[in-house]
Amino acid sequence: MAESEELGIATGEAQAGGRAVAGASRGPVLGPPLVEYLLRLGDDRLILGHRLSEWCGHGPILEEDIALSNMALDLIGQAASLLRLAGEAEGQGRDEDALAYWRDGVRFRNALLMELPKGDFGFTVVRQFLVSAQSVFLWEALLASTHEGLAGVAAKAIKEAKYHLRHASEWVVRLGDGTPESHDRVQRALDDCWRYTGELFAQDEVDAAVAALGITVDMASIRARWDQVVDDVLQRATLTRPADGPMRHGGRVGRHTEHLGHLLSVMQSVARAHPGATW
Amino acid sequence: MLTAGDAWRALEGVPDPEVPVISVVELGIIRAVVVDDAGAVAVTITPTYSGCPAMFEIEKDVRSALLAAGAAAVTVTTVLSPAWTTDWIPESAREKLRAYGIAPPGKADGGALVTLTRARPPVPCPWCGSAATELRSEFGSTACKAIHVCTSCRQPFDEFKAI
């Protein structure tokens, strides 16, 4: 199967309803499961970290400008560790910089939720909450990963993710249980994000292959704990949990929204304008 | 020839670039120092936070301090495991932090998974000692610090976050 077929798969309406977007013969081309899995974990953090970094100098108040930039740094640092592991598993001499700056959009494996534009502060906070809750429980499970390098990243990242989750939870409550305007905005953000949450827990043959080796866990157990935290915080925030409708998928196999290309054009521009530059 | 003891002493003279009142040894980020028969030093370091931007600076400072102390060669390896914790900072260094105006870290929470609200008592002001302080943000001027303000002496201050 030609790899270029990845490029031919449309995003947008073709994915509506979470239906398969192409016949079985035209599925995407994926690499070895361990490489794919590490790219998924790494790209989630790289792309979300970049979105958070867009707040640097634009935060609503100084403390939040600093907080969002701090979290961006944590996530990009985690991404660097994960992409380094992915490069080692791939064995073709690509390091974390090569993977971050020299892959095109169809090679990125982040969940679609990560690449959505940063929106207003409410949207950023809601997305951060939904993702941080998944991260905390996932990292906790990965502490026991049979992949030593990944378990090491998990031990480091869980400490950071806990701070991220508490920060986002406090803001979801503050804004949800705040003014009518702040309540409406975070409720809208929650409604907008919800259709992308299914992908955070989706499992395909890549996940099954690495789970069989004890590298990762069944995401259903993560989902159950995520549900509890989400319900708890939303209730305190007087927000309504959206119904589980059709979920959007595609990022894990390189089918992205139009937003990713714009993000990469910024994120990769310096590295590509000055290949091999050091400072 | 350089001994392991000499190497450690040289590293005790390397300040943390972000918190120069304590050394990289006191901060707990130097995990191992091995000197071979030829006087080459292998240092293992660990980052405080995944994205700590000071790691490159620290590696450079470690290298030049050891070369200046007479190391024949220096290799620096970064490891993530075991994950760095503020519990590795000794009491003497905590006192230096306090004197510098940074509240030292409390006990790391260990296994506790998620506390959605921050339940611990106010952090004493490093300037006036008052307990009448308020947390402004758990994210401060560097990844490892939180911002507080003292309502007694009306000074803002950093706290070294427990992780």
Q: What is the pLDDT of residues A28-80, one digit of tens each?
A: 778 899 999 999 999 999 999 999 999 999 999 999 999 999 999 999 999 99
pLDDT band at A1 (very low <50, low <70, confident <90, very high): very low
Q: Which of A76, A136, A140 sits opposite B51 (nearest CB)?
A: A76
Q: Which residues of B touch A159 (CB under 8 A)?
A: 83, 85, 163
Contact criterion met (CB < 8 Å) for A74 and B51: yes
**A51 CA: distance to closest CA in chain B (Å):** 16
Contacts of A14 (CB under 8 A, 6+ apart): A21
Strands B102-103 and B133-137: unpaired
Residue B32 DSSP symbol: E
Q: What is the maximum alpha-carbon separation in chain A?
A: 54
Residue A21: the pLDDT is 41
| H or E element at residue B150 | strand B145-150
Q: What is the pLDDT of residues A152-184, one digit of tens each?
A: 999 999 999 999 999 999 999 999 999 999 999
Contact criterion met (CB < 8 Å) for A155 and B53: no
Q: How many CB pairs under 8 A join A and B?
A: 95
Q: Is the pLDDT of residue A5 over 50?
A: no
Q: Which of B50, B83, B116 sits opposite A74 (nearest CB)?
A: B50
Return averaged pLDDT per consecutive 10 residues of chain B, 163 residues in all: 94 94 96 95 95 91 96 95 94 95 85 62 92 91 90 94 88
* Total-model pTM: 0.90
Q: Which of B51, B85, B140 sits opposite A77 (nearest CB)?
A: B51
In A, what residues contact B, Cβ < 8 A?
63-64, 66-67, 70-78, 80-81, 136, 140, 148-149, 151-153, 155-157, 159-160, 162-163, 165-167, 169-170, 229, 232-233
Best probe of the A interface among B44, B87, B114, B160, by most A CBs < 10 A, is B114
- CA–CA dist A105, A107 (Å, integer): 5
Residue B115: the pLDDT is 61
Domains, chain B, with CATH or none: 4-78 (3.30.300.130), 100-160 (no CATH)
Q: What is the pLDDT of residues B97-134, one digit of tens each?
A: 999 999 999 888 765 555 666 667 889 999 999 999 99
Q: What is the pLDDT of residues A110-168, one digit of tens each?
A: 999 999 999 999 999 999 999 999 999 999 999 999 999 999 999 999 999 999 999 99
Q: Which residues of A touch B78 (CB under 8 A)?
A: none
| Residue B45 bridge partners (DSSP) | B30, B78
Q: Which residues of A touch B80 (CB under 8 A)?
A: 81, 149, 152-153, 155-156
Contact criterion met (CB < 8 Å) for A163 and B161: yes
DSSP per-residue string spanning A255-275:
---HHHHHHHHHHTHHHHHST
Residue A171: the pLDDT is 96
Contacts of A59 (CB under 8 A, 6+ apart): A65, A66, A67, A68, A69, A121
Cβ(B101)–Cβ(B127) under 8 Å?
Answer: yes
Residue A13: the pLDDT is 36
Residue A122: the pLDDT is 97
pLDDT band at A8 (very low <50, low <70, confident <90, very high): very low
Sheet of B145-150: strands edge to edge? B102-103, B156-160, B145-150, B133-137
Q: Which residues of A touch B139 (CB under 8 A)?
A: 63, 66-67, 70-71, 163, 167
Average pLDDT for A198-207: 97
Q: Which residues of B touch A149 (CB under 8 A)?
A: 80
Contact criterion met (CB < 8 Å) for A136 and B114: yes
Sheet of B30-35: strands edge to edge? B30-35, B40-45, B73-78
Contact criterion met (CB < 8 Å) for B147 and A63: yes
Q: Which residues of B touch A74 (CB under 8 A)?
A: 49-51, 143
- Chain A, nearest residue to B109 by Cα: A159
Residue B120: the pLDDT is 72
Tokens of A226: 């995520």
Single-letter amino acid code for the residue at A17: G
Cβ(A252)–Cβ(A111) under 8 Å?
Answer: yes
- Chain B, nearest residue to A74 by Cα: B51
Output Rg (C-alpha) for chain A, integer angstroms: 18
